[in-house]
């Protein structure tokens, strides 16, 4: 397994208070579901790993489950303050320790630039 995937898995498990190997267990308890969701979302949204099947392989799930987890992330961020707090902790740690960005706000800037680049209208001559 890639070293950055391992580091992220360790960060997620530490923040959610579970063992690293428990991210992959077949359990529907909230803390395990939230840990898998946060792990998948970080990998996908931060362009660390953009393949649903590969993310699923890391947590012993299929690609459809990974897609569902990534989609559920936005709902969790709005409806679950505990998940939001834990995810923000994970994001700060991953940004600093794995992605080696000193300033957390850089990630927001990169996302804003990416969104603006996608929204530029096509100009025809």
DSSP string of 91-102?
HHHIIIIIS--S
- Does 81 score more than 80 pLDDT? yes
Q: Which of 34-48, 68-82, 96-110 has the lowest mean pLDDT?
A: 96-110
- Give pLDDT, residue 2: 76
- Does 8 score more than 70 pLDDT? yes
When computed from its CA atoms, the radius of gyration of the chain, rounded to whole angstroms, is 15
- Please tell me the pTM assigned to this model: 0.78
Contact in structure between 53 and 43 (CB atoms under 8 Å): no
Contact in structure between 83 and 92 (CB atoms under 8 Å): no
pLDDT digits (tens, 9 = 90+) for 105-125: 545 555 555 555 555 555 555
pLDDT digits (tens, 9 = 90+) for 33-61: 999 999 999 999 998 899 999 999 999 99
């Amino acid at each position: 397994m890639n070293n950055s995937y391992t580091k992220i898995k360790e960060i997620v498990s530490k923040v959610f208070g579970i063992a690293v190997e428990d991210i992959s267990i077949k359990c529907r308890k909230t803390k395990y579901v939230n840990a898998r969701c946060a792990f998948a979302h970080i990998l996908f949204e931060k362009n660390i790993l953009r393949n649903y099947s590969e993310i699923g392989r890391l947590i012993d799930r299929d690609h459809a489950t990974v897609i569902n987890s990534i989609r559920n992330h936005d709902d969790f961020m709005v409806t679950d303050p505990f998940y939001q707090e834990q995810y923000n902790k994970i994001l700060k740690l991953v940004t600093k320790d794995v992605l080696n960005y000193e300033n957390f706000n850089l990630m927001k800037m990169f996302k804003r630039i990416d969104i603006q680049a996608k929204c530029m209208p096509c100009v025809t001559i």
